[in-house]
Amino acid sequence: MTEISSRVLGTSGLKLTTMGLGGTGLGNMYRATDPDVAIATVHTAFERGIRYFDTAPVYGFGLAESRLGEAIRSLPRDKIVISSKVGYALVPISADEVAPVLWDQAPAFRPEFDYSRDAVRRSIEDSLERLGVDYIDMLAIHDPDEALAFEPGEDPRARSHFQDAMEGAYRVLDDLRSEGVIKAVGVGINQWQMLGDFVVAGRFDYFLLAGRYTLLEQEPLATLLPLCEQRGTQLVIGGPYNSGILASGPVNGATFNTRSAPPRVIDKVRQLQAVCARHDIPLAAAALQFPLGHPIVASVIPGARSVEELEQNLAFMRLPIPADLWRDLKDEGLVDPAAPTPAGR
């Protein structure tokens, strides 16, 4: 893959660039991002051809949306696609209440799940105000799995908000789509099993699936992805680096699912890296491009908290990768042999 191209998102008519910009870095995830750097990152993304920007109210408790809104004020609105999410209410906290630690230097809120119709409508109004726009192209039901990324053997429907999400949030979003207010309805989630329920329960244009269809793991390939294809639901892949380890490699402190990577993951990543090294291809480049081999994947959206990180991601996306690398990964049992792969050079 040598350029940032576009793919049409099903019947929505929206064109998503094959690489978008994820919004967690703009929201100070784990550590603060300088406001000017955040805005420069968005502007550079646009200058380099990226036209798809993802965000959410819970990212920095409104900070990511506000920063994206400030950045796009000088960009042509009709030339970009924005996706955001619903399902969290931002509740003000008192001065003596401990703020959540995930978002550094964030406004004084704590998130509460609320998929009710009234809460979803308020959430959309607040997002429009923070973004400074008249419309949002794509809206997803956020974290109905309570943001859990499950390990093997864990209950894939633990603490599920499926019913609340379908009876509340989905009905609001479906109505807005019918009215032409939004173009696409989705689910943004960290585990894939629940999506098998969503895909048959409603008409979803996309699922934003974080970390579950990557170079490291392809568990939904045989079941969920064919079902999505049948139903006309496409994927946007968040967390293509599995929250870090596919970018850093198996180094000390490498993260997987936002936690320290377990030995089984470190061992597999070491093997993936070795095969990539034989072809002089950075592991991160293979990780970023791999999901786009599947025809239902519309875009991958790595986060970037600086212009330098963005430029590195763009370089990885544009690097030609030989077909022999994908074949070797399959031959060594590191990638599912049935997984479609990008066309090699």
Could you report the per-residue pLDDT of 16-63, keeping only the tens digit for each?
A: 999 999 999 999 888 899 999 999 999 999 999 999 999 999 999 999
Q: What is the pLDDT of residue 201?
A: 98
Q: What is the pLDDT of residue 28?
A: 87
Single out the residue of 222, 243, 331, 241 nearest to residue 286, CA to CA. 241
Q: What is the pLDDT of residue 96?
A: 81
| Residues catalogued as catalytic | 54, 59, 85
- CA 245-250-252 angle, 5° bins: 100
Spacing of C-alpha 333 from chain mean position: 26
For the four alpha carbons of 30, 31, 32 and 34, in that order, the dihedral sign comes to negative
Helix H, strand E, coil C: the string for the chain is: CCCCCEEECHHHCCEEECECEECCHHHCECCCCCHHHHHHHHHHHHHCCCCEEECCCCCCCCHHHHHHHHHHCCCCHHHCEEEEEECEEEEECCCCCCCCCCECCCCCEEEEECCCHHHHHHHHHHHHHHHCCCCCCEEEEECCCCCCCCCCCCCCCCCCCHHHHHHHHHHHHHHHHHCCCCCEEEEEECCCCCHHHHHHHCCCCEEEEECCCCCCCCHHHCCHHHHHHHHCCEEEEECCCHHHHHHHCCCCCCEECCEECCHHHHHHHHHHHHHHHHCCCCHHHHHHHHHHHCCCEEEEECECCCHHHHHHHHHHHHCCCCHHHHHHHHHCCCCCCCCCCCCCC
Low-confidence ranges of the chain (pLDDT < 70): 1-3, 147-159, 344-345
For the four alpha carbons of 160, 162, 167 and 168, in that order, the dihedral sign comes to positive
Q: What is the pLDDT of residue 155?
A: 58
Q: What is the pLDDT of residue 157?
A: 60
Integer Cα distance of 186 and 207 in angstroms: 5
Residues 6+ apart with CB under 8 A from 42: 21, 26, 53, 67, 68, 71, 72
Segment 74-91, tens digit of pLDDT: 999 999 999 999 999 999
Q: What is the pLDDT of residue 159?
A: 65
Q: What is the pLDDT of residue 221?
A: 98
Domain ranges in the chain? 6-248+283-322
* Number of alpha carbons in the 13 Å side-chain half-sphere of residue 51: 19
- CA-to-CA separations, 100 to 90, 295, 296, in angstroms, rounded: 12, 38, 35
- What is the assigned CATH class of domain 6-248+283-322? alpha beta
